[in-house]
Amino acid sequence: MLNRSKIDDFLTYLKGLNDLEVLVKASEKQRFSRDFFDYSPVLKAELSGCCADLVVKPLSIDAVMSVASACHRYEIPLTLRGAGTGNYGQCVPLQGGVVMLMNALNHIRNFDSYTGDVTVEAGCLLGNLNSYLLSKGRQLRLSPSTWRTATVAGFVSGGSGGIGSVRWGFLRDPGHLLALEVVTLEKCSRKIQLDAKSSEALNHAYGTNGIMTALTLSTCTAVDWQEVAIDCGDFSKALELFQICTRAAVDLFLCSLLETKIVESLPAWSGNPRGKNRLLLLVAPDGVSTLERIAKENGADFSNLGSEEKKIGNGIRELSWNHTTLHMRSLDSNWTYLQMLLPQPEIDAIQAINETWRENVLWHLEAVRQQGVQRIAALPLVRWQGYGQLEQLMTDCREVGAILFNPHVITVEDGGLGVIDSDQVKTKRKYDPKGILNPGKLKGWV
């Protein structure tokens, strides 16, 4: 919490600004100081007490600029919030100050019908943007499984990939983010335009080095994705099938594999669990018959669930990525999770981990394209048994060759490869010289 009289002065100043809602109720400050960090018992203990001193909601870019200049002048921390669906406390104000809600800035500014590129304001919901794109014969290349509720800037700043990653890799791969409009944190805040190269340092920086007000993204041709489930009793066989599917000449948009016990914990609308491991796939219409043949040749049960178009909120997208974790946790909040890229051959690594951890780890795999190569990411469910056990499990995973993306830490670097990205830090020095934006989240700055 900051000095009361400084906050009061600041508040009086903010109340005189146009196009700005100021929220001061304790319930609002608490609500907008949280995200989904409670998926991690470690972060829950660390972040539950953090709270903003006030919350603002700008209704125009001019208001964003005024708030930015004021935070700079008064030296008050500023944390940006999209929809607040992050899992690592990305939009939790560690040092209090202001939380700025970006969701009123949500216009779609431009669509280029030749390239398919779209320019959209930061707070537009990914679901709304996708509906707009579908009307133009295009769609988003990448979305989190929270695609209906999350914002565009929140995804680019805090997310990494998800649905579409099997084809399009990850958000930080060159080609997804083409340009940014950014507001700086200076005495007289500026609104600047960044090209694709200069935008890279703000991509996945947790809003620590600039306020995104608009983004230009590439899109892909819309496809009427078909939902397919393939059930297989033996896990090794299911993994083999998973790999056959990702290597086949079919257009996939999602390919997840859930272990039997996870399938049994999914909501009733997901269908009869059948006591088997389940592959969930989004495939182009011309690939359905091939998947059916692959499943049958391998003795698995094939279900064509039809077009995903009408499955509003209850489609296989909502069973994948961290929605799988959500469903497990809604039955028993003692489950947490890890995120990793598995070494090859994946089955050897999984079996090695199972030898020690069989009772406490359940496997959830996602097919991804990593630096142009088809790989398997895992988001295993982990039964919480304390910090020491979690650390030991992470050590064991690293020992079998997995690359961990630790979801139980708060900094950009610790959640990635642990390496400081000097461009992110240089960009912060340029656009946020006093270190006002989301303090405590960029280790390289500290």
Ligand X SMILES: Cc1cc2nc3c(=O)[nH]c(=O)nc-3n(C[C@H](O)[C@H](O)[C@H](O)COP(=O)(O)OP(=O)(O)OC[C@H]3O[C@@H](n4cnc5c(N)ncnc54)[C@H](O)[C@@H]3O)c2cc1C
Site residues (vs ligand X, CB under 6 A) = 35-36, 79-87, 90-91, 102, 122, 144-146, 150-151, 153-155, 157-162, 206-207, 211-212, 321-323, 326, 438
Q: Which is nearer to ligand X, 36 or 363 (CB)?
A: 36
Least distance to ligand X, CB of residue 99, Å = 9
User: Which two structure tokens, joined as six digits, stand for 373?
Assistant: 């190569």
Q: Which is nearer to ligand X, 7 or 105 (CB)?
A: 105
Least distance to ligand X, CB of residue 145, Å = 4
Q: Which is nearer to ligand X, 302 or 384 (CB)?
A: 384
Q: Which is nearer to ligand X, 127 or 401 (CB)?
A: 127
- Measure the CA–CA gap between 313 and 328, rounded to whole angstroms: 17
Q: Element (H or E) spanning 426, and its range?
A: helix 422-431
Least distance to ligand X, CB of residue 350, Å = 21
Least distance to ligand X, CB of residue 2, Å = 19
Chain Cα centroid distance, residue 356: 30
Q: Which is nearer to ligand X, 168 or 357 (CB)?
A: 168
Query: Alpha helix (H) ranges present in 16-125?
Result: 26-31, 41-47, 61-74
Output DSSP code: residue 82. S
> Closest CB to ligand X belongs to which residue?
154
Q: Which is nearer to ligand X, 98 or 228 (CB)?
A: 98
Least distance to ligand X, CB of residue 239, Å = 21
Q: Which is nearer to ligand X, 257 or 294 (CB)?
A: 257
Q: Which is nearer to ligand X, 88 or 357 (CB)?
A: 88
Output DSSP code: residue 326. H
Least distance to ligand X, CB of residue 323, Å = 5
β-strand pairing of 98-101 with 54-58: parallel
CB 191 within 8 A of CB 213: yes
Least distance to ligand X, CB of residue 300, Å = 25
Which of 153, 130, 106, 105 lies closest to 312, judged by CA?
Answer: 130
Residues forming beta bridges with residue 177, ordered by sequence position: 217
Least distance to ligand X, CB of residue 286, Å = 26
- At residue 220, the 3 state secondary structure works out as strand
Angle between helices 387-399 and 346-357 (to 10 degrees): 150
| CA distances to 245, 246, 319, 344, 363 from 349, in Å | 20, 19, 24, 8, 12
Residues forming beta bridges with residue 367, ordered by sequence position: 376
Q: Which is nearer to ligand X, 133 or 288 (CB)?
A: 133
Burial string for 113-124 (b: 16+ CB within 10 Å, else e) reads: eeebbbbbbbbb
| CA distances to 285, 343, 429 from 417, in Å | 37, 15, 22
- Measure the CA–CA gap between 413 and 346, rounded to whole angstroms: 26
Helices vs. strands in the chain: H and E counts, helices first: 16, 22
Q: Element (H or E) spanning 349, and its range?
A: helix 346-357
Least distance to ligand X, CB of residue 326, Å = 4
Least distance to ligand X, CB of residue 144, Å = 3
Angle between helices 235-247 and 346-357 (to 10 degrees): 150
Query: Alpha helix (H) ranges present in 176-308?
Result: 196-199, 235-247, 260-264, 288-297
Q: Which is nearer to ligand X, 10 or 147 (CB)?
A: 147
Backbone angles phi, psi at 79, to 5 degrees: -120, 130
Least distance to ligand X, CB of residue 146, Å = 4
Q: Which is nearer to ligand X, 87 or 270 (CB)?
A: 87
